[in-house]
Amino acid sequence: MEHIQIIPDLEEQGFKDGEYPTIDYKGPITIGGMDNGTASGKPVVLIGIEVGEDVMVVQTTLALFLTAADMLKARYGDPR
């Protein structure tokens, strides 16, 4: 499984708000979990995005997903 790169502020890394290439997005974005998703039996988070006739699925461990969420919340606050 690939690692997840956590960047709390993309602008500091050179990303700017602007026009980017788009895809034929049909929606919705699906986020779900799965028990025993890693070789060691840890839970994983899967994110699915419909692109044209295909579905692109990204997977990471639940621990890394929650770490990313914690860092974003620390940077931007909790909007809920």
User: What does the chain look like in DSSP terms, one character per residue?
Assistant: -------S-GGGGT--SS------EEEEEEEEEETT-STT---EEEEEEEETTEEEEEEEEHHHHHHHHHHHHHHH----
Q: How far apart are CA 57 and CA 32, in angstroms?
A: 11
- pLDDT exceeds cutoff 60 at 1: no
Query: Residue 4 — very low, low, confident or very high, per pLDDT cuts 50/70/90?
Result: low
- pLDDT exceeds cutoff 80 at 19: no
Over range 24-48, report the average pLDDT.
Answer: 88
pLDDT of residue 29: 87
Q: Which residue did the predictor score with more confidence, 65 or 10? A: 65
Domain ranges of the chain: 24-76
pLDDT of residue 24: 67
pLDDT of residue 3: 63
